[in-house]
Structure 1
Amino acid sequence: MSFSKSKARLIVLLFILFIFAACTATRLQKEQSKAFLEKGISFIELRQYPQALRELQEAEKYNPRNEEVYYYMGMVYHAMDMKEKAFASFQQAIFLKDDYSEAHNYLGTLYMAEKNWGQALAHFEKAVDNPLYNTPAVPLYNAGWVYYSQKDYTKAMDSYRRALQREPTTVLRPQIEKNIGLIYFEQNDFPNAIRHFKQSVEINPNIFDAHFFLGESYLKTGDKANARKAFETVVNLAPKTSFGKQAGIYLRSLK
């Protein structure tokens, strides 16, 4: 009986040691994976994508359950124009963490680039559904642009207003104000278009296309003096762009 008890205790002890060793190995593997991940991110910031990919692949070997590894892999593959692998990486990130808002947003932009509007909107909404997401204005801005591209101005406006409501201090505010102005412009509501274009350039005076649309809105209301000022700003900011060239044409016609 004593021998049986000793044997049982030995088995329990060995089991505990095995579990401890396994946990230690897992912890070390996660730490190694994190180190490779951080190196990979550093290479991404330097736009050294092949080097970044090598580090991320090492990170994957040590911890294939880390959704961040696949998110950054997706970024690298996208930068290297490897679309299928980019899609697969973001989908794997979402498989591992369903409410991974950043991955949903990035995947949505890939679908948006392919004009797969339904899939794009589905992922933007999934990104926004996470109440802990720090930058909900980003997917809402993207969703607004999808609706605008579809000429669904009501839903586009709703997305932009939600973006400003959820994240009033978003860095995208100048772009959102400009896009709201574009909606009013398309609806021939030029006073409101002017108001939002002005808000856009007041926040960021370097958005030359907002100045251009502001000038066109002034022209629509017969305010040639302010139109001229807006077009002059466009020419000064971006003379070689299509906006700058068209602004120059407007200026010559206003003399």
Structure 2
Amino acid sequence: MRKFLVGACCLLLIACAATETKQDTEASRERARVHTELGAGYYAQNQIAVALEEFELAAQINPSYAPAYNGLGLVYGTLREDEKADAAFRKALQLDPKSSETRNNYGSFLCARNRIDESIVQFMEAVKNPLYVTPGVAYMNAGTCLLRKKDIKQAELYLQHALQLQPQLFQAGYQLAVIAHSRGEYEAARDYLKPALESDSPTADMLWLGIKLAREAGDRDSEASYALQLRRKFPHSEQAKRLLSGQ
């Protein structure tokens, strides 16, 4: 009887320990998630030092929480600590190979370092995940990266696919407009660029291309409108300087 009681007590202790371990793991994961989200918020506000602290704390609290390492990869990449960034992204993917967000971020990091072929692998792995919410972004990044390699044909295919998936990706439309303009396909260029120019946030590059396309079409009203926006929104930009110099 005593042996039975001892055995029962041991089983009870094991069960309790397992429950406590599970609760501790869930609690640490939740704390890591909170600090990772804080880090992401600080990173978005360009408060890099504080973001780094939050991501490091998240990884310390739960060393198996993949998003924390994704955040560390972004921060180290921004700080140009490339070896640390590469290691952090790889750690994140080791923990969560299906994370399309991490693969997209890692691909962007690799592209910025001219590791173009490696970056395309990451972007294409990202879009394989049927649960990825923004696959158009990965296709757009892949297309933009291939432009560095002068692989215009494949870049164009990726950028077009990005727009098909997410028509609001104005940067993809801009890149396609640049390609069309370089070929003298001005009408196609205007069609690609139009949604961006009609949005609330065209970039200086978009407005400058809009000005050139309007000039080529003899559309003085549009040219004047884009020029006014360029001077107001980006008065110190290179594009505004070109405009003022009569280019």
Could you state the TM-score of these two structures normalised by the residue count of structure 2? 0.84
The aligned counterpart of 1:211 is: 207
Counterpart among 212, 226, 248 of residue 244 in structure 2: 248
Residue 60 (str. 1) matches residue 59 (str. 2) = yes
**3-state DSSP of counterpart to 1:64:** coil
Alpha-carbon distance between aligned partners in 1 of 2:203 and 2:43, rounded to the nearest angstrom: 27
1:242 is aligned with what amino acid?
E
1:208 is aligned with what amino acid?
A
Structure 1: any 5+ residue segments left out of the alignment?
A: none
What is the percent sequence identity of the aligned residues?
Answer: 24
The aligned counterpart of 1:83 is: 82
Contact residue 214 and residue 230 of structure 1 kept, 8 A: no
CA deviation map 1:116-146 (0-9, x unaligned): 1101111111122112111222211111112
Q: Tell me which structure has the larger Cα radius of gyration.
A: 1
TM-superposed deviation, 1:97: 0.7
**Structure 1 stretch displaced more, 31-40 or 67-76:** 31-40
**Structure 1 stretch displaced more, 232-241 or 125-134:** 232-241
1:248 is aligned with what amino acid?
L
Alpha-carbon distance between aligned partners in 2 of 1:208 and 1:40, rounded to the nearest angstrom: 30
Could you state the TM-score of these two structures normalised by the residue count of structure 1? 0.82
Counterpart among 208, 224, 228 of residue 229 in structure 1: 224
TM-superposed deviation, 1:182: 0.8
TM-superposed deviation, 1:236: 5.0
Alpha-carbon distance between aligned partners in 1 of 2:200 and 2:54, rounded to the nearest angstrom: 38
CA 1:121–1:17: 2 relative to 1, 3 Å: same
Alpha-carbon distance between aligned partners in 1 of 2:63 and 2:106, rounded to the nearest angstrom: 20
CA 1:27–1:218: 2 relative to 1, 3 Å: closer
CA 1:10–1:105: 2 relative to 1, 3 Å: same
RMSD, aligned CA? 2.7
**Structure 1 stretch displaced more, 156-165 or 111-120:** 156-165
The aligned counterpart of 1:181 is: 177
